[in-house]
A and B are shown apart, each in its own frame.
Chain A
Amino acid sequence: MARMRAALIWAVVTGSIVVSFAAAATSPLLAWRGPVYVVAGFAGVLSLALVLLQPLLAAGYLSGLSIGRGRQVHRWFGAALVAAIIIHVAGLWLTSPPDVVDALLFDSPTPFSAWGVVAMWAAFAAALLAALRRPLRIRPRLFRLGHTVLVVLVVLGGVVHALLIDGTMESVSKLVLCALVVTATAVALFNLRAWTVLTRRKRQDLLP
């Protein structure tokens, strides 16, 4: 039963990611985009795929990876996510500078831009917090609370951003991938008892 569940998780996750990429690769819109714009679009798809893998790695849901190994891969993928977002935004900036400037200044006519920019800054902050955790000796409780709040913003902002866009991603595979991202994040946060930092803190505050 446990083995079947593990195999099912792997199959659903890899399947949804492969199908999303394959569907985007056959988008008719690609015919009218230059290489820079195409790369920028796929960097966005890759970001969404990485956001699906991150909670699974952090919570150890991908069998075959020990929790320690999973956390190690989680750190690499976190860095990869930051790089993918930078490539996404830089590629769009090269394609149409004023549209990206508007988005970054929260002055864009398209509502999905603001969601994407919020998700971008939250992802950068979540990664920065992780990178500074040891050098600054950030307390585990503070790290957990900060990282959780930030990744919730990444998931919320990223998913709304993706769903509102009329782009190269095919709509059904995009919806499935987004649903999996939200589910994986919610289940991981629930199982890791991510909110206990808040309740524990409250109890502590009640002490004289």
Chain B
Amino acid sequence: MLPLSTTRRGLLASGAAFGAAALTAGAPAIIRPAQAQALAPTDSMRGGANNYRPGAPIVQRIGNGGFWMSGTVRRAGDGAPLPGVRIQIWAHTTEGYETDAQSHGATLSDANGVFRLEMPQIIPAFGQAHGHLAYDDAAFKTVFLRPVMQSSRDKSLKADFVLQPA
């Protein structure tokens, strides 16, 4: 596994991934279920809720697409995938500002707890190429994420949710 990325964030991420892989590979099999039991809920990120629009509609695609936002939704504790969970996604893209209604759209996680929504290309805004995702329904505690792209030329971005009961 060679670190293909040449950016600072990329190198750090692959270094961390390598370390984590080495640690888990070396751990006795018996402690793994215990680790899964302790799957911690995702904390909201700073600035994650900025320009959120409650009740943005579920859409097939935001605008004309060309960029993919994806991720997983799991339950805190046992890590079970959560299907049918509504995730809102928005960003400053080639088609609009974060504040524009048409920059927002929601999607549902599938049976495996995976969600994927096509949207216009995210471009750097306020000094950083980043996206926003929100879980904000009744069953679990609200979580706002604000992942940052390794490179502003990336064509996709991932963010995972681990939710805890409200």
A95 at the interface (CB under 8 A from B): yes
Choose one: A32, A107, A167; the contact of B46 (CB below 8 Å): A107
* A34, A92, A95, A164, most chain B CB atoms within 10 A: A95
Q: Is the interface of A mostly helix, strand, loop or mixed?
A: helix
Interface string of A108-151 (1 = CB under 8 A from B): 11101100000000000000000000000000000000000000
* A102, A112, A113, A166, most chain B CB atoms within 10 A: A166
**A side interface size, CB within 8 A:** 21
Q: Which residues of chain B have a CB within 8 Å of any CB of chain A?
A: 45-51, 92-94, 97-99, 123-129, 146, 152
In the complex the two chains form, is A32's CB within 8 Å of B123's CB?
Answer: yes
In the complex the two chains form, is A166's CB within 8 Å of B152's CB?
Answer: yes
Choose one: A31, A96, A110; the contact of B99 (CB below 8 Å): A96
In the complex the two chains form, is A109's CB within 8 Å of B97's CB?
Answer: no
With the chains together, A169 CA to B22 CA distance in Å? Answer: 41
Q: Which 7 A-B pairs have the closest CB atoms?
A: A165-B127, A98-B50, A109-B46, A109-B47, A166-B124, A99-B126, A32-B94
With the chains together, A4 CA to B93 CA distance in Å? Answer: 49
Question: Would you mind naming 6 contact pairs between A and B with Cβ atoms under 8 Å apart?
Answer: A32-B123, A95-B97, A98-B50, A110-B47, A110-B126, A166-B129
Closest to A92 in B: B126
Question: How far is the CB of A120 from the nearest CB of chain B, in Å?
Answer: 15
A29 at the interface (CB under 8 A from B): yes
Please give, as numbers and ranges, the residues of chain B lying within 8 Å of A102 by CB-CB distance. 46-47, 50
B-facing residues in A45-94 (Cβ within 8 Å): 92
In the complex the two chains form, is A112's CB within 8 Å of B45's CB?
Answer: no
In the complex the two chains form, is A167's CB within 8 Å of B127's CB?
Answer: yes
Please give, as numbers and ranges, the residues of chain A lying within 8 Å of B126 by CB-CB distance. 92, 96, 99, 110
